[in-house]
Amino acid sequence: MSAKMNTGNTKVMNRFDVTSRLIAKLKHEEAVIGGIGNTNFDLWAAGHRPQNFYMLGSMGLAFPIALGVALAQPDRRVFALEGDGSLLMQLGALSTIASLKPKNLIMIVMDNGIYQITGAQPTPAAGVADIVAIAVGSGLSNSAWAADEEDFERLVETAMSATEPHLIAVRIDDKPGVGTTRRDPVQIRERFMHGLGVREPL
Amino acid sequence: MVIAEGTSPQATQGTGERSWHGIVLQTLKRNEISLVPYVPDRVLTPLITSLHADPFFTTFATAREEEAVGIVSGAWMGGRRGAVLMQTSGFATLANVLASLAVPYQIPLIMFVSERGTLGEFNYGQSLVCRTMRPVLDSLALEHHTITRFDELEFIADRSIKQAVTTQAPVALILNPLLTGGKTFDK
């Protein structure tokens, strides 16, 4: 993050803390898609829910996967948690979402400016690009930096009753994820489908 | 018989349901596949146009093919069926998402690939990238069929979609120029 970007009043928060605050607000079996690495590790650590989906690869596809869920179940709110490095791999997805305007999709970007999990190398965007400005420029007008934890919770509440997609960007520290997701893709997918009411267990 | 350049004998067979793209549309509909993201291709244009014209379908362009794969994967988990349309060169961008999402999570990813790079290709890059497609599919032991004949299209497409869904496994249906007419230099 660079001081020249419009994030001067933005507090540096913690991914696990912010994720836990989000999960505590979910009362209606909202779906949550966790991007690869630390993003879904902290989603896992915040407490497994049947409506959580954890990616094990396919870096950058948290928002597209969440868009698919949102299009399949328009009456369910769908959250996607993505890292800044992951989002940089799939910026075009922001325009796709802006074009379709799913009313039930809420995107959260955890921005630490680094590839924490590979050794904390800075991303190419660090210090030069502004994720919220990119999102707005991609057509997602309801995009904002969370100033602090209370502001994050307020933005989540606003998004949960909105009629257009929202994007919330959070400046986070360089800490690794708190937990480690059980890497069982078939079980993750199957339990997610149970959680969404698509299937019943055998 | 003189065959117009860029047009196969089979591709000239009528319009609507009795065209290759009409058969694909009806087969998608019969199998309740209503979500069709795509990265466009000249050959696919009549199919894309007819999908947009039919309110049964939610169809739209994505910026990359793997984005479309992510979307239909999420939709499948949410209980809605989808299929992705792309060109050969687009398939070449998918090895990572196939190996890290569609295959390990057992998602019935249905792909229609318009085949460039063969039977009159004029772009060397297209002919080279085409050669990577089947080795990638075979390396992951993915079901794939190259459809060359109009009279086999409905059977292959319908059965392959049903097999993908029931076995929870991806399938690639490669639309060969013998079926579609392909793309030629002057277009």
Q: Retrieve residue B38's tokens.
A: 């795509």
Compute the count of residue pairs across chains A and B with CB atoms less than 8 Å apart.
126
pLDDT at B184: 80
pLDDT at B154: 98
Nearest CA in chain B to A58: B97
Q: Retrieve residue B3's tokens.
A: 């065959």
Q: Retrieve residue B26's tokens.
A: 């009806």
pLDDT at B15: 56
| B68–A69 CB contact, under 8 Å | no
**H runs (alpha helix) in chain B:** 20-30, 45-53, 65-77, 88-91, 95-97, 124-139, 150-167, 177-180
- Rounded to the nearest angstrom, the minimum Cα separation between B55 and chain A is 15
In this structure, what are the phi and psi dihedrals at residue A65, rounded to the nearest 5 degrees?
A: -60, -45
Mean of pLDDT values over B50-55: 98
With bands split at pLDDT 50, 70 and 90, how would you rate the model's confidence at B10? low
- Rounded to the nearest angstrom, the minimum Cα separation between A50 and chain B is 12
Q: Is A6 or B142 the better-scoring residue by pLDDT?
A: B142
| A67–B71 CB contact, under 8 Å | yes
Q: Any idea which architecture B16-180 has in CATH?
A: 3-Layer(aba) Sandwich (3.40)
Q: Retrieve residue B141's tokens.
A: 């032991």
What is the tens place of the pLDDT at every residue in A41-61? Answer: 999 999 999 999 999 999 999
Instruction: Find out whether B84 and B69 touch, Cβ atoms under 8 Å.
Output: yes
Task: Tell me the percentage of chain A whose pLDDT exceeds 90.
Answer: 95
pLDDT at A8: 62
In single-letter form, the type of residue at position B170 comes to P
Instruction: Find out whether B95 and B71 touch, Cβ atoms under 8 Å.
Output: no
User: Which chain B residues are Cβ-neighbours of A95 within 8 angstroms?
Assistant: 63
User: How far apart, in whole angstroms, are the C-alpha atoms of residue B25 and residue B47?
Assistant: 7
List the single range of A20-29, B8-17, B51-60, B134-143 with lowest mean pLDDT. Answer: B8-17
User: Which chain A residues are Cβ-neighbours of B58 within 8 angstroms?
Assistant: 71
Nearest CA in chain B to A138: B63
Mean of pLDDT values over B7-29: 76
- Rounded to the nearest angstrom, the minimum Cα separation between B71 and chain A is 4
User: Which chain A residues are Cβ-neighbours of B77 within 8 angstroms?
Assistant: 53, 65, 68-69, 72, 189, 192-193, 196, 198
User: Which chain A residues are Cβ-neighbours of B96 within 8 angstroms?
Assistant: 57-59
Q: Is A20 on the interface with B (CB under 8 A)?
A: no
CA distances from B79 to A61, A76, A187, A192, B35 (A): 19, 12, 17, 11, 11
